Amino acid sequence: MQDQFFALADLLSAEMKGDEGYLARFAGEISDFVRFNHSAVRQAGAVEQRYLTLELFRGRRHATQTLTLTGEQAIDFAATRDAVRALRDVLLDTPEDPHFLINTTPQSTTRILPGALASPEEGVDAVLSAGAGHDMVGFYAAGPIHRGFANNVGQRNWDTVQAFNVDLSFYLQADKAVKMSHAGTNWNAAAFAAKADEAKARLAALARPAKTIAPGAYRVYLAPTALEEVMGMLSWGGFGLEAHRTATTPLIKMVEHGAKLHSSVTLTENSGEGLAPGFQNEGFVKPPSVTLIANGAYKDCLTSPRSAAEFGATQNGAEGYEAPQSLDMTAGTLETARIVETLGTGIYIGNLWYLNYSDRNACRLTGMTRFATFWVENGEIVAPLNVMRFDDTVYRILGENLKGLTKERDLLLSSDTYEARSTRSMRLPGAIVDDFKMTL
């Protein structure tokens, strides 16, 4: 795919006239994709797809079109030439964009991130074996994901990652289930089996009579998958320069009033070790890392070229939506294997969902517990909890009430498969939090 894309880039360079320029973006994948239901294969297939997004510009006028490529050079060349002609016509009536900023200094890069993936048969057999005797549902996806960039000044960027993602739920009955995920670049059958066994072991506790507790403040353990939902909400405007400069960020108290999280909390956009490509849509190369929060204090924003032009700042490789693509949270000192014992008495929360802001300016979140959430007494799981709603601020959850983070962190690869497999990821620990507010 790399050679095919670069051949298209050379064609585009030859097609330019006068002061025209172009930005070309490539997205492709070759994926084994299998869905499961009732511990059986429901749908199995191999997906091979490639897309070219072409942006033609003249000065500050620009227009974009996305093409589905066939891999056949003659067909793709003809479609690309047609797209250039169509975009030229669009530019005639396109107004100037005052915040259009692109990279004009070539920064060519290549990253081929190797992986040791299971064969399709091995991966599917492992999932079916894990689900034997249980009502298991979910999907397995694996294979290379390709991204590319090219422009008229000769810049060429390419990124290939070999990755897999397994997202499964083991159901007891109705909505009572235990969810697990396993993702990475190197398949480890033993590690996958251990995660599946841990999830299935929770089913025995889930079968006990459910407990209902009164609204109030409780000591809780947020598993990495639960903390992922909190981080997902923070990523919604929390770290972007535009949101900060327009005072719409939920972290406005950190930016304007010096509010802090717990000193153990450091968040970075870790592009150097993430699965997302190390370049962005306007051709700027991302730095290896951007520290967003350092030891609980606000440090830096993700700044897209567009925001840099609008607010007179320096871009740092962020995409236009200015959300983390490879978010890392530093680890703590707690042992995951002893986390129920460390929790003592309280609530073990494996997943959260339906999160939203109940007070955005205060960074107050509300949402529901989901799947396997348990009541713990004296270091032992006693009973599953009926669904509850929480309402609390990030300043309390990851600030004054944070009691510890786990040493072990989970790599959580986004399960989004709309149009294509996602390369967005988070690497997160689990967290013990005191006085977590349950409202009903």
Exposed / middle / buried, residue 342 (Cβ in 10 Å: 0-12, 13-18, 19+): middle
pLDDT at 58: 97
What is the spatial distance between Cα 238 and Cα 251, in angstroms, rounded to a whole number?
6
| β-sheet bridge partners, residue 348 | 221, 374
Q: Are residues 200 and 223 in the same domain?
A: no
Per-residue pLDDT tens digits for 208-260: 999 999 999 999 999 999 999 999 999 999 999 999 999 999 999 999 999 99
Quick one: average pLDDT of 31-49?
96
pLDDT at 371: 84
Quick one: average pLDDT of 118-127?
96
Q: Are residues 274 and 313 in the same domain?
A: yes
Q: Are residues 112 and 150 in the same domain?
A: yes
Domain boundary (204, 235, 253) is at 204
**Domain tally, the chain:** 2
Question: Is residue 175 over pLDDT 90?
Answer: no
Domain boundary (154, 180, 204) is at 204
Average pLDDT, the chain: 96
Q: Map residue 246 onto helix, strand or coil.
A: coil
Per-residue pLDDT tens digits for 45-92: 999 999 999 999 999 999 999 999 999 999 999 999 999 999 999 999
Encoded amino acid at 413, one letter: L
pLDDT at 174: 80
- CA atoms within a 13 Å half-sphere pointing along the CA-CB vector of 131: 28
Question: Is residue 22 over pLDDT 90?
Answer: yes
Quick one: average pLDDT of 187-195?
95
Q: Are residues 312 and 433 in the same domain?
A: yes
Supply φ then ψ for residue 186, to 5 degrees: -125, 110
What secondary structure letter does DSSP report for 386?
P
Exposed / middle / buried, residue 250 (Cβ in 10 Å: 0-12, 13-18, 19+): buried
Q: Is residue 422 part of a domain?
A: yes
Q: Are residues 190 and 233 in the same domain?
A: no
Residue with tokens 């030229």: 88
Q: Are residues 70 and 43 in the same domain?
A: yes
Q: Is residue 260 part of a domain?
A: yes
Question: Is residue 425 over pLDDT 90?
Answer: yes
Q: Is residue 210 part of a domain?
A: no
Q: Are residues 174 and 229 in the same domain?
A: no
Sign of CA dihedral 318, 319, 322, 326: negative
Write the DSSP string, 8-28. HHHHHHHH--TTEEEEEEEEE
Q: Is residue 211 part of a domain?
A: no
Least confident of 143-157, 201-215, 221-235, 323-337: 201-215
Q: Are residues 199 and 226 in the same domain?
A: no
pLDDT at 388: 95
Question: Is residue 430 over pLDDT 90?
Answer: yes
pLDDT at 370: 84
> Which is nearest to 403 in space by CA: 225, 242, 223, 220?
220
Q: Are residues 11 and 106 in the same domain?
A: yes
Q: Are residues 151 and 237 in the same domain?
A: no
Task: Determine the distance from the C-alpha atom of residue 435 to the mean position of all C-alpha atoms in its chain, rounded to a whole number.
Answer: 28
What is the spatial distance between Cα 286 and Cα 277, in angstroms, rounded to a whole number?
9
What is the spatial distance between Cα 317 and Cα 283, in angstroms, rounded to a whole number?
9
What is the spatial distance between Cα 131 and Cα 136, in angstroms, rounded to a whole number?
5
- 10 within 8 A of 73, measured Cβ to Cβ: no
Q: Are residues 89 and 169 in the same domain?
A: yes
Distances, alpha carbon 61 to alpha carbons 20, 88, 98, 281, in Å: 10, 10, 9, 16
129: its two tokens: 């074996």
Per-residue pLDDT tens digits for 354-397: 999 999 999 999 999 988 899 999 999 999 999 999 999 999 99
Q: Is residue 46 part of a domain?
A: yes
Q: Is residue 251 part of a domain?
A: yes
CATH number at residue 168: 3.30.2290.10
pLDDT at 248: 96
> Which is nearest to 45 in space by CA: 64, 30, 63?
30
Domain boundary (170, 204, 238) is at 204
Q: Is residue 209 part of a domain?
A: no
What is the spatial distance between Cα 243 and Cα 224, in angstroms, rounded to a whole number?
26
Q: Map residue 364 onto helix, strand or coil.
A: strand
Burial 347-364 (b: 16+ CB within 10 A, else e): bbbbbbeebeeeebeebb
Q: Map residue 125 onto helix, strand or coil.
A: helix
What is the spatial distance between Cα 263 and Cα 160, in angstroms, rounded to a whole number?
36
What secondary structure letter does DSSP report for 274?
S
pLDDT at 391: 98
pLDDT at 7: 98
| β-sheet bridge partners, residue 279 | 285
Question: Is residue 114 over pLDDT 90?
Answer: no
Q: Are residues 313 and 356 in the same domain?
A: yes
- 348 within 8 A of 338, measured Cβ to Cβ: no
Write the DSSP string, 52-79. EEEEEEETTEEEEEEEE--S-HHHHHHH
Tell me the residue range of the domain where 108 lies.
Answer: 2-204
More confident residue, 334 or 115: 334
